[in-house]
Amino acid sequence: MTYQEEFIHFMVRSGVLTFGDFITKSGRKTPYFVNTGNYKTGAQATRLGEHYAACIQEHMPEGIDALFGPAYKGIPLAVSAASALYRNYGRDLPYCFNRKEAKDHGEGGSMVGYQPKDGDRVAIIEDVVTAGTAVRETIELFKHVADVELCALFVSVDRMERGTRGCTALDELRQDLGIQVYPIVTIRDVMDCLYDCPVDGKVYIDDAMLARMEDHLAQYGPNG
């Protein structure tokens, strides 16, 4: 089983990837939902970091000086990914994250952990990107921190839905910001992995659910 397939099974078992009737933050009705807020144990954090680390190692085995996790959901992602990169691949990358409000006492500043410096190549670790707002906020944030290169964005799932234009939200980030974007899995990977294939004895994507997911992509995908 590939690390991508293992990650899909892990999301299902963790109650992070669920199927039914949902409404996304953008107001779209969707037959599936990814809620990374449901990760809540040490074992899950360890496994999650290993999947991010595998994706980082596959796509960028070098060329990264630090990991950044946007507050709040990105914080445990960056920490667990950095830990797994060291444990599994011997890469000891520093990590940092931002405060929602800049600290005005002590050492001050808006950044916690590693303090990025000019010339650093920084990778952003995020959960699921819908409109790319957090990424654009991160770019604006770093303008006031250091002259870094935001070299890549790693996310857990690419929903493969269009953003404000005809292409997907992740493709918009690639085009508008010139940043490399790497999802651990895409929603197509999820469909291929789980269709008619049980996890712990339960089939999550049967013919009916597959049809609903295909309809959703036909309506909201880049060609919808």
Peptide bond into 72 cis (omega under 30): yes
Told to judge if 29 belongs to the known catalytic residues of this protein, a careful annotator would answer no
Q: What's the CA gap between 94 and 123, in Å, rounded?
A: 11
Catalytic residue among 40, 100, 105, 143: 105
Phi, psi of 115 (to 5 degrees): -100, 105
Phi, psi of 24 (to 5 degrees): -75, 170
Told to judge if 103 belongs to the known catalytic residues of this protein, a careful annotator would answer yes
Question: 3-state class of 146 per DSSP?
Answer: coil
The whole-angstrom distance between residue 16's C-alpha and the CA centroid of its chain comes to 13
Catalytic residue among 103, 117, 144, 202: 103
The catalytic site residues sit at: 103, 105
